[in-house]
Amino acid sequence: METPTVFVSIFLFALVLLVFAPIMTWVERKQSALMQDRIGANRASILGFKALGLIHPLADVIKMITKEDTIPTGAHKLLHLVSPFIAVAPAIISFAVIPYGGTYEMWGAHVSLCVADLDYGVLFIFAIGSIATYGSMLAGWAGNNNWGMLGSIRVSAQMISYEVALGISVVGLFMIFGTLRLTEMGLLQQETFRLFGFLEHFGWVAQGTAWIDWITIPMWGLVLQPLPFFMFLTALMAENKRAPFDTPEGESEIVAGYFIEYSGMKFGLYMMGEWIEVVVISALLTAMFLGGWTLPWLPEASIISYMTPLVGENMANVAAMVLAVHVFLIKVIVLIWFQMLIRWSMPRFRYDQVMDLGWKILLPLSLANVVITGLGILIVQEVTR
């Protein structure tokens, strides 16, 4: 990728992140209020102007930054300082490999809406995510607090357990798409297959029956691998440690868990990390299971070729790019909303329930999925030969 377009992508990705992170706090407040039949965040105001509670994120930031930054006695000062950054940085870095759109040609330049289009894109996110464990683990230990310590131990056990299921649950998807590159996955998910094509293939209906060509289904990951979508979402949510998987911070038993000794913006960084990770989870699921930046039944190439006679090739590409980013963001927002729904509907799991779900349900199911998907691929190959 050429240098100027990298800057375009980085600008876009920074913009999305910076816009999303504070708005997430507002979304969370408003949605929890809606679901619990309350009025919700509506107190912060500037000169009586409330903007539906949108001033609250600003008030949060001012409060966090001006609060006293305490370091407990006996704390490991360096680790206490760096842990919040280790927790937040991986979430932000993960965005580097997520594609917001395809590659577009305009005025002689290739514009790719993916900062780093890596061959091992998904693995990169897993690897970076596994580093985030340290941010939470060391936080509890460095604070020299017994509650924090318990939180650390829970965090490490939980994150190790779910990393296993996280990786294996999507192996089936990799087998079908034959790639780990997220941009390639997006392109493959534009294609469609005929739902009743097998009737024609086995000769149960006559060749060239019209209605068979009409009923097509997009090859979204969600259609091809419906169960892994939910397993992957569960594992990702457990990695993110939000309710119902928030045993590491369980305030009724261990006060606040691993970040108990943090105040001010360092505490804020943990909250920010969680919210950014909600966005990462949604973006990753969108790219892998929901067709990424593409519209179902409407391949990007045909949008561009349809618009070219109307507005010229360059503007057609620009239009397709703008459309792609919006489609991607809408899908991401729907998934964020879905995660908030889960977070505010479910009570916190007990600790052994969290472990049981990871090891006794998700892991065997995802292993079975690998075998079944392999069989399915072989059967399809055999039949369509």
Nearer to other proteins by C-beta: 124 or 232? 124
Of residues 285-314, which lie at the interface with other proteins (CB under 8 A)? none
Please name the residue that has the structure tokens 């061959």.
119
Q: Tell me: does residue 180 bind other proteins (CB under 8 A).
A: yes
Q: Tell me: does residue 127 bind other proteins (CB under 8 A).
A: yes
Q: Tell me: does residue 133 bind other proteins (CB under 8 A).
A: yes
**Min separation Cβ 24 and other proteins, Å:** 26
Q: Tell me: does residue 137 bind other proteins (CB under 8 A).
A: yes
Alpha-carbon span 364 to 119, nearest angstrom:
28
Q: Which residue in 328, 335, 370, 363 sits closest to 174, CA to CA?
A: 370
Q: Tell me: does residue 328 bind other proteins (CB under 8 A).
A: no
CB within 8 A of 113, min separation 6: which ones?
9, 12, 99, 100, 101, 102, 103, 104, 293, 321, 324, 325
| HEC readout, 44-60 | CCECCECHHHCCHHHHH
Radius of gyration of the chain from Cα atoms? 23
Q: Tell me: does residue 188 bind other proteins (CB under 8 A).
A: no
Q: Which residue in 262, 312, 303, 254 sits closest to 106, CA to CA?
A: 312
Q: Give the residues across from 263 on adjacent strands.
A: none
Q: Which residue in 118, 98, 93, 114 sits closest to 321, CA to CA?
A: 114
**Min separation Cβ 198 and other proteins, Å:** 29
Q: Tell me: does residue 11 bind other proteins (CB under 8 A).
A: no
CA distances (Å), 355 to each of 37, 74, 245, in order? 33, 32, 10
**Min separation Cβ 160 and other proteins, Å:** 6
| C-beta contacts of 300-305 below 8 A and 24+ residues apart | 300/102, 300/190, 300/324
**Interface region with other proteins, contact rule CB under 8 A, candidates 49-57, 114-122, 305-313, 376-384:** 114-122
Q: Tell me: does residue 370 bind other proteins (CB under 8 A).
A: no
- Helix pair angle (56-66, 3-35), 10° resolution: 100
Q: Tell me: does residue 377 bind other proteins (CB under 8 A).
A: no
Q: Tell me: does residue 366 bind other proteins (CB under 8 A).
A: no
Q: Tell me: does residue 124 bind other proteins (CB under 8 A).
A: yes
**Interface region with other proteins, contact rule CB under 8 A, candidates 18-26, 147-155, 297-305, 322-330:** 147-155
Which one of residues 163, 246, 261, 277 is an interface residue with other proteins (CB under 8 A)? 163
Nearer to other proteins by C-beta: 23 or 116? 116
**Interface region with other proteins, contact rule CB under 8 A, candidates 126-134, 246-254, 311-319, 348-356:** 126-134
Q: Tell me: does residue 371 bind other proteins (CB under 8 A).
A: no
Residue ranges that bind other proteins, judged by CB under 8 A: 76, 79, 118-120, 123-124, 126-131, 133-134, 137-138, 141, 149, 152-153, 156-157, 159-160, 163, 180
